[in-house]
Chains A and B, each alone.
Chain A
């Protein structure tokens, strides 16, 4: 199925005001409870501080945006989505009426960590709801593909609910259209709930252009025996802040976060992957690999938190960043917080460069220094890509890495 594009009048006054909140909600014909949520978020927005970046390497995260440049003025739902089978894809504002009992508890929240989260909740102007209804038993996966094209500043809300036994794969690809004028900014929140024994894979392919910085916040909640696999392939050219946080709330739930990124130029990437174990017998695994060339910078935080209530759980994490130039910088920040002795946990984080001995070995077989370096970088990503939970995206990453290395004339031949 294809969701129609809807578009409302451009608000003449794009200021971040209560009036703008009301206008967005009215244009979308939202129910009263949703308007109330937006207004509550707006109140919090005015009071909360901007998120701070006081750790590790100094990254000018795209969080430091000038808010007065934000224009949540247009109601854009510009996506093609297709799904076969039982899964439903709806405009979130429309779904707020039809699926009030499902959405209201998920969307209603006063627990904003910072100004940006509150801003999102008050002003989102594109919303998508993906719903996988309850099944008798876990069947084969249904696929939903979202092709989201960025035209200007957008504040996007995506809610995915997989009811009991549902099995769904959602892939979103983010691109910018040629028509983007000036600097576009994207704030996107993804909210996933996997009910008992449900399986959700959510994959983001971020290919935004250099004039589109983004903040992407991905949150999930896994109930009993549910599985949530996040995949994130970030090869866009803009700066990015990205957070992925899973709460393993039900016994036996498990989650993985797999991320691969490639940064270049003066891109700044700020990535957080976090797994919170709240229940017994839960499992998590974080794996992130990234390469940086030019003057790109990245902070990669991986955080495994195992609560007292999560006996017999297992949390693993591994982050590797490869620096391909002398001017690229990275700080991986691994963090384990464990309140229960009856658990297994491991972490590993490393920043490295291409190994000169390996390059000599490859060159001794006739590869030029560029070919050798390209092969070594591709090899760096390959083990992770071979095990990607959403295999379809592996080739995208392979191709992008190959092309970016090819395009970097001076960098690798150094």
Chain B
């Protein structure tokens, strides 16, 4: 069983059906690629996965780590470890990137019902076993407590360095006035800070020059680990030269027209999406 399973998903927006029975699976520790021509419905799938209120699921379901999340609000999905890097991230004036990320991180640490009780008692025990050495730092690092500012800034600096984002961006308003490429890097920065288990990256490669693409791709590769998987949405194979997919899905007109291994990418490159359409019929 895969961590993320999309079964027969039908989605409509403003009464118009856009996804017409999508089946797709992705797992932690893996890269699944979702390719397809413009207008195929890739972004719509991303929105539906994240729970955008305008994208109405009329049939089918989404399960994540075995749990049906089809009806959950976006923030609950995020707390379960789902992340969406937007094709067109919103600009949020007046909210600095640092302020926003801290709010987001603390919001996720909040309200984990088991964390304060059970976890707290356990860490108490561990501490005394350790001779109380880490007694002071420990409680703050637990879920259920806000991340200390110093720790937060340290992590943020580290990740910004990795993604070659200038430190001044910390205090800039979220995405406001960012270039297309800067927005995409900022999305990956958010992913790096929030440490999701499944990240849907929607056209993270578009609008990037070759150097930026390398930085972003390297960033994604560094974030991939047994606890983190990626669903990479793209309509070029370019980024797939750097981030190697385990599975490839081709979406056409709201359906998965074909799926397979990395070799599909080459086929698309050589023959275009038209070749798929013929076979699918």
Contact = CB atoms under 8 A, between A and B. Distances in A.
B95 to A, nearest CB: 4
Interface string B67-109: 0000001110111000110100111111100011001100110
A365 B78 contact: yes
Contacts of B53: 356, 360
B92 A362 contact: yes
A272 interface: no
B231 interface: no
Contact of B103 (A360, A375, A380): A375
Interface in A359-377: 360-369, 371-372, 375-376
B22 interface: no
A367 B107 contact: yes
B75 A367 contact: yes
Interface in A370-393: 371-372, 375-376, 378-383
A358 B52 CA distance: 11
Nearest to B84: A364
B194 interface: yes
Contact of B94 (A360, A366, A372, A382): A382
Interface centre among A369, A375, A380 (most CB of B within 10 A): A375
Contact of B90 (A355, A369, A375, A381): A355
Nearest to B174: A379
B273 interface: no
A101 interface: no
Contact of B78 (A355, A356, A364, A379): A364
Contacts of A366: 75, 78-79, 104, 107-108, 194
A84 interface: no
Given A365-B194, A366-B108, A369-B73, A379 B90 contact: no
B104 A367 contact: yes
A118 to B, nearest CB: 42
B11 to A, nearest CB: 15
B75 to A, nearest CB: 5
A357 interface: yes
B163 interface: no
Contact of B75 (A355, A368, A376, A380): A368
B236 interface: no
B194 A379 contact: no
Contacts of B89: 361
Given A356-B53, A366-B78, A361 B92 contact: yes
Interface in A286-303: none
Given A368-B107, A379-B173, A363 B92 contact: no
B234 interface: no
Contacts of A380: 93-94
Interface residues of A, number: 24
A382 B95 contact: yes
A375 B95 contact: yes
A397 to B, nearest CB: 12
B35 interface: no
Interface residues of B, number: 29
A363 B95 contact: no
A379 B103 CA distance: 13
B50 interface: yes
B151 to A, nearest CB: 18
B190 interface: yes
A369 B75 contact: yes
Contacts of A368: 75, 107
A383 to B, nearest CB: 5
B231 to A, nearest CB: 14
Interface in A329-357: 355-357
A159 B92 CA distance: 41
Choose among B74, B77, B95, B104 the residue with the greatest number of A CB atoms under 10 Å from its CB. B74
Nearest to A374: B103
B12 to A, nearest CB: 17
A376 B92 CA distance: 7
A378 B75 contact: no
A369 B72 CA distance: 13
B9 to A, nearest CB: 18
Given A366-B194, A379-B173, A358 B92 contact: yes
Contacts of A360: 50, 52-53, 74, 90
Interface in B96-142: 99-100, 103-104, 107-108
Contacts of B93: 379-380, 382-383
Interface in A277-322: none
Interface of B: 50-53, 73-75, 77-79, 83-84, 86, 89-95, 99-100, 103-104, 107-108, 173, 190, 194
7 nearest A-B pairs in the assembled complex, by CB-CB distance: A379-B94, A382-B94, A366-B78, A379-B95, A361-B90, A363-B74, A365-B104
Given A360-B90, A363-B78, A364-B86, 17 more contacts: A356-B53, A360-B50, A361-B89, A362-B100, A365-B83, A365-B100, A366-B75, A366-B78, A366-B104, A366-B107, A372-B75, A379-B92, A379-B93, A379-B173, A380-B94, A381-B94, A382-B94
15 contacts: A358-B90, A360-B74, A360-B90, A363-B78, A365-B100, A367-B104, A368-B75, A369-B75, A371-B103, A375-B95, A376-B95, A378-B95, A380-B94, A381-B94, A382-B95
